[in-house]
Amino acid sequence: MKPVTLKQIAEHLNISVTTVSKALKDYSDVSPKTKALVKELAKTLNYKPNAFAVNLRTKESKTIGLIIPVIVHHFFSNVIRGIISQAEKKGYLVIILQSNESYELEKKQIDLLMSQRVDGILISLANGTANFNHLNDVLAQDKPLVMFDKIAKIVKCSKVIIDDRKAAYMATKHLIDTGCKRIAHFRGALLPQNSIDRFLGYKKALLDNNMPYDPSLVYICQCDDMSFEEGKKNAQQLLKDHNDVDGIFINTDLVAIGALTEFNKQGVKVPEDISIVGFSNWFMSSVISPTLTTINQPGFEMGKVAFKQLYKEMKRIKKNKPVVYKEIVLETALVKRESTKK
Amino acid sequence: MKPVTLKQIAEHLNISVTTVSKALKDYSDVSPKTKALVKELAKTLNYKPNAFAVNLRTKESKTIGLIIPVIVHHFFSNVIRGIISQAEKKGYLVIILQSNESYELEKKQIDLLMSQRVDGILISLANGTANFNHLNDVLAQDKPLVMFDKIAKIVKCSKVIIDDRKAAYMATKHLIDTGCKRIAHFRGALLPQNSIDRFLGYKKALLDNNMPYDPSLVYICQCDDMSFEEGKKNAQQLLKDHNDVDGIFINTDLVAIGALTEFNKQGVKVPEDISIVGFSNWFMSSVISPTLTTINQPGFEMGKVAFKQLYKEMKRIKKNKPVVYKEIVLETALVKRESTKK
DNA sequence: TTTCGTACCGAAAACGTTTTCGAAATAAAC
DNA sequence: GTTTATTTCGAAAACGTTTTCGGTACGAAA
């Protein structure tokens, strides 16, 4: 019932544990004959090396940690899939933790992963994270860490992101190009770099095209579990505050769909009365009516690329070579649909 | 730079490794004085026990494995969240693997988890899984395994599920009660127990209410990544084949929304011309127009309950006590919305 | 014959814990 | 003063691997 060990194989064949170990790993100093014997017996006994012992000996677990603000999220769950698929190819397992957008939890989870001694960490920051000691500690201990999507520029490590500012600029520009004269913005929470960047892209597009920037047209939402409701609320508020707005660039598809639903309900025509551009290209955006113009954000690819970078760094560290941090920017694209005019 | 070990603390204080270890774990046979000394030094040196060594010694890793057919899925991602939240409370980490609805992959992943020596395994079966040796092997090695949602009745282990047959019966009955005379069913793939049960519930509701069961009204879909498209296709086919159908019970909300979209596009009025009941209560179902009547399937809770059961079994096994397998059935409910008549 | 090289094997240390068991030292009981 | 408890400590084994370093044995070269 108990798992088979090298020792048992050795005793069976009347040879030493050393030889068994070497035979299984095709060392050159064991004869073909004994190699064959060992391998055969190992197979029939269904020998599996004890991972705990191997980990202790080799000081690595072939496991990485992943901390993500939310799991139930079209974009993030795609990132997870990307990471896992790539990790599996390289023989790595991934432990997933959800920070729930909480800095405190994020800190604890980093600690947890460090004491579990994962080989590396992938993280997308919580909205509430403004202090980065926990991340710097990881790096200080020579543990590879790469951030993706929700990053902190200040932390010296690899990052894989999109150019949020540029994408937001594209989105807003598209509203301008299709005739919108007064454009609002539903932005994300205050801290995350990407909601800041999207806001800046929005603002720059306005100014570059001789349109005034009006802070009262910028609505904030936390983009958490309640995103959809936030979209509805902001839409209601917008209709009360500003009846002259004819275009909105919205931080996230989910919020955009909330707003869209509210407009549909109130009889506000999209795009005739108000045009909307979302962000993410969640597949639901192409299903809702009217279909949503949005920015395509490559979640699966981001996951893959993030793991690849982490993998490189893990290998470098293992060889005691210095790692060079990279900032990888993935391409985005505007996806034109029915929620904006031609 | 290297992590602190017990040995280093011991040398610092001129005591033995044994005492340090015991002091940190509050053994009764070490004096309060030395305990205080050890703990203080451990804190200042930021000592973290080497998980690899602890694992080897204790033969457990406080890690479980989770195999799931798809991650990017409203229901399953909620299950994941439920599992992780509960696991975290009990100090367990969870390694997630995606079987991609493939039996071969699932088998490999079970192997992977076993050689990684996780303390237990949670699994929702792939559609393609018809052979259960890989699962029985796990159980034969006294490793706790609990199945959820997509289960195999034949495997002797704990399961947490919903009563799919009853839920499907409720759904179909509701169509009948609201006046539908000819009711189709978009079912899931052939193998999974839950799509079988939902089909059986549909069939029984018809027969119990003196309505003929017509196999040509049952359409199959794989319910994989392409679910939405499958819904559209099946809807098209249905309109061609049977213009007298006035109600459909659909295996999954996503497929239902695909069908709904197609009906909207083709000018078929829902629920006036055709009523629809979905399954899952994905939040999008309350957003789409018309909103979708559906069965609420408690994903988050299912994850929690599944982990709790696994946890119990892991504790039993650790104490060498026999485990009793449970089949836990979670409650579902019909959620009435606009896609069915009053 | 001796010497050298090669092919094959194994003893032993190491990774960092946990835990058993006995020993020493002190305090309590007679 | 001797015996018995009680408190406090540590040596050592164990978990299962990996890897270093010597050591045989045997054939070939001298």
Report pLDDT digits (tens) over A260-275: 999 999 999 999 999 9
pLDDT of residue A287: 85
- Distance (Å) from the alpha carbon of A132 to chain B's nearest alpha carbon: 18
* Rounded average pLDDT over B80-87: 97
Q: Is residue A189 part of a domain?
A: yes
Q: Is residue B259 part of a domain?
A: yes
Q: Is residue A337 part of a domain?
A: no
Q: Give the residue among B214, B244, B227 at the shortest CA–CA distance from B280.
A: B227
Q: Using pLDDT thresholds of 50, 70 and 90, give the confidence band for residue A81.
A: very high
Which chain B positions have a beta carbon within 8 Å of A84's beta carbon? Answer: 71, 96-98
* Rounded average pLDDT over A64-91: 95
* Nucleotides in chain C with any atom closer than 7 Å to protein CB: 7-12, 14-22
| The 3-state secondary structure of chain B, one letter per residue | CCCCCHHHHHHHHCCCHHHHHHHHCCCCCCCHHHHHHHHHHHHHCCCCCCHHHHHHHHCCCCEEEEEECCCCCHHHHHHHHHHHHHHHHCCCEEEEEECCCCHHHHHHHHHHHHHHCCCEEEECCCCCCCCCHHHHHHHHCCCCEEEECCCCCCCCCEEEEECHHHHHHHHHHHHHHCCCCCEEEEECCCCCHHHHHHHHHHHHHHHHCCCCCCHHHEEECCCCCCHHHHHHHHHHHHHHHCCCCCEEEECCHHHHHHHHHHHHHHCCCCCCCCEEECCECCHHHHCCCCCCEEEECCHHHHHHHHHHHHHHHHHHHHCCCCCCCCEEEECCEEECCCCCCC
Residues A268 and A309 in one domain: no
Q: A27: how many CB neighbours lie within 10 A of its CB?
A: 12
pLDDT of residue B128: 85
Residues A187 and A71 in one domain: no
Q: Which amino acid is at B248?
A: I
Q: With an 8 Å Cβ cutoff, is A244 touching chain B?
A: no
Which residue, among A94, A101, A117, A133, would best test binding to B if mutated, counting the most B CBs under 10 Å from its CB?
A: A117
B58 CB contact with strand D at below 7 Å: no
- Test A115 with B142 for CB contact under 8 angstroms: no
CA–C1' gap, A39 and D24, in angstroms: 25
Question: What is the token pair recorded at A300?
Answer: 């699966």
CB B232 within 8 A of CB B256: no
* Rounded average pLDDT over A298-304: 97
Residues A128 and A42 in one domain: no
* Rounded average pLDDT over B198-204: 98
Cα–Cα distance, A198 to A249 (Å, whole number):
9
- Distance (Å) from the alpha carbon of B172 to chain A's nearest alpha carbon: 26
Which chain B positions have a beta carbon within 8 Å of A50's beta carbon? Answer: 56, 117
- Test B283 with A228 for CB contact under 8 angstroms: yes
Which chain A positions have a beta carbon within 8 Å of B117's beta carbon? Answer: 50-52
pLDDT over 80 (residue B224): no
**Which phi-psi region, left, alpha or beta, contains residue A46 (left: φ > 0; alpha: ψ -120 to 50)?**
left
B26 CB contact with strand D at below 7 Å: no
For CA atoms A75, A76, A81, A86, the dihedral sign is positive
- Please report the residues numbered 277 through 306 in chain A whose beta carbons come closer than 8 angstroms to any beta carbon of chain B: 283-284, 287-289
Closest nucleotide to B30 by C1' from CA: D8
Nearest by CB to A284, from B52, B73, B284: name it.
Answer: B284
Q: Is residue B337 part of a domain?
A: no
Q: Is residue B340 part of a domain?
A: no
Residues B148 and B181 in one domain: no
**Chain mean position to CA B256:** 21
* Rounded average pLDDT over A82-108: 96
- Distance (Å) from the alpha carbon of A113 to chain B's nearest alpha carbon: 9
Nearest by CB to B116, from A3, A51, A53: name it.
Answer: A51
- Test B52 with A49 for CB contact under 8 angstroms: no
pLDDT over 80 (residue B225): no
Q: How many domains does chain A have?
A: 3
Q: With an 8 Å Cβ cutoff, is B80 touching chain A?
A: yes
- Test B98 with A114 for CB contact under 8 angstroms: no
Residues B156 and B169 in one domain: no
Q: Using pLDDT thresholds of 50, 70 and 90, give the confidence band for residue A136.
A: very high
CA–C1' gap, B12 and D6, in angstroms: 28
Q: Is residue A336 part of a domain?
A: no
Residues A308 and A292 in one domain: no
pLDDT of residue A226: 73
* Rounded average pLDDT over B226-231: 88
Residues A272 and A221 in one domain: yes
Which residue, among B96, B281, B304, would best test binding to A if mutated, counting the most A CBs under 10 Å from its CB?
A: B96
Domain span holding position A325: 59-162+299-331
pLDDT of residue B178: 97
Say if residue B247 is exposed, middle or buried (CB neighbours under 10 Å; 0-12, 13-18, 19+). Answer: buried
Nearest by CB to B84, from A1, A78, A97: name it.
Answer: A97
B16 CB contact with strand D at below 7 Å: yes
- Distance (Å) from the alpha carbon of B149 to chain A's nearest alpha carbon: 18
Which residue, among B118, B225, B287, would best test binding to A if mutated, counting the most A CBs under 10 Å from its CB?
A: B287
CATH number, domain at A270? 3.40.50.2300
pLDDT, tens digit, 9 for 90 and up, residues A186-210: 999 998 889 999 999 999 999 999 9
Which residue, among B43, B61, B72, B114, would best test binding to A if mutated, counting the most A CBs under 10 Å from its CB?
A: B72
Pairing of strands A333-335, A294-296: antiparallel
pLDDT > 70: what percent of chain B?
99
Residues B149 and B211 in one domain: no
**Chain mean position to CA B6:** 41
Q: Give the residue among A10, A329, A34, A15 at the shortest CA–CA distance from A160.
A: A329
Cα–Cα distance, A38 to B82 (Å, whole number):
44
Nearest by CB to A53, from B56, B142, B287: name it.
Answer: B56
Q: Using pLDDT thresholds of 50, 70 and 90, give the confidence band for residue A59.
A: very high
Residues A157 and A303 in one domain: yes
How far are the Cα atoms of B186, B221, B259 from residue B232, in angstroms, in the given order? 11, 11, 5
- Distance (Å) from the alpha carbon of B148 to chain A's nearest alpha carbon: 18
Cβ–Cβ pairs < 8 A, chains A and B: 109
φ, ψ at A82 (rounded to 5°):
-60, -45
* Rounded average pLDDT over B257-277: 95
Residues B95 and B157 in one domain: yes
Number of residues that make up chain A: 342
Residues B223 and B247 in one domain: yes
Q: With an 8 Å Cβ cutoff, is A88 touching chain B?
A: yes
* Rounded average pLDDT over B62-67: 98
Q: Using pLDDT thresholds of 50, 70 and 90, give the confidence band for residue A222.
A: confident
* Rounded average pLDDT over B64-81: 95
A24 CB contact with strand D at below 7 Å: yes
State the distance between the two ends of chain B, measured CA to CA, in whole angstroms. 70
pLDDT of residue B287: 85
pLDDT over 80 (residue B226): no
Residue pointed to by tokens 């795009």 = A271
Q: Give the residue among B225, B223, B202 at the shortest CA–CA distance from B213.
A: B202
Residues B154 and B69 in one domain: yes
CA–C1' gap, B34 and C29, in angstroms: 29
- Please report the residues numbered 149 through 208 in chain A whose beta carbons come closer than 8 angstroms to any beta carbon of chain B: none
- Most distant CA pair in chain B: distance in Å? 89
| The 3-state secondary structure of chain A, one letter per residue | CCCCCHHHHHHHHCCCHHHHHHHHCCCCCCCHHHHHHHHHHHHHCCCCCCHHHHHHHHCCCCEEEEEECCCCCHHHHHHHHHHHHHHHHCCCEEEEEECCCCHHHHHHHHHHHHHHCCCEEEECCCCCCCCCHHHHHHHHCCCCEEEECCCCCCCCCEEEEECHHHHHHHHHHHHHHCCCCCEEEEECCCCCHHHHHHHHHHHHHHHHCCCCCCHHHEEECCCCCCHHHHHHHHHHHHHHHCCCCCEEEECCHHHHHHHHHHHHHHCCCCCCCCEEECCECCHHHHCCCCCCEEEECCHHHHHHHHHHHHHHHHHHHHCCCCCCCCEEEECCEEECCCCCCC
Which chain A positions have a beta carbon within 8 Å of B95's beta carbon? Answer: 63, 93-96
Cα–Cα distance, B159 to B145 (Å, whole number):
9
Beta bridge partners of B184: B248
Q: With an 8 Å Cβ cutoff, is B320 touching chain A?
A: no
pLDDT, tens digit, 9 for 90 and up, residues B41-56: 999 999 999 999 999 9
pLDDT over 80 (residue A337): yes
Q: Using pLDDT thresholds of 50, 70 and 90, give the confidence band for residue B311.
A: very high
A223 or A208: which leads in pLDDT: A208
* Rounded average pLDDT over A158-185: 97
pLDDT, tens digit, 9 for 90 and up, residues B163-179: 999 999 999 999 999 99
- Test B80 with A59 for CB contact under 8 angstroms: no
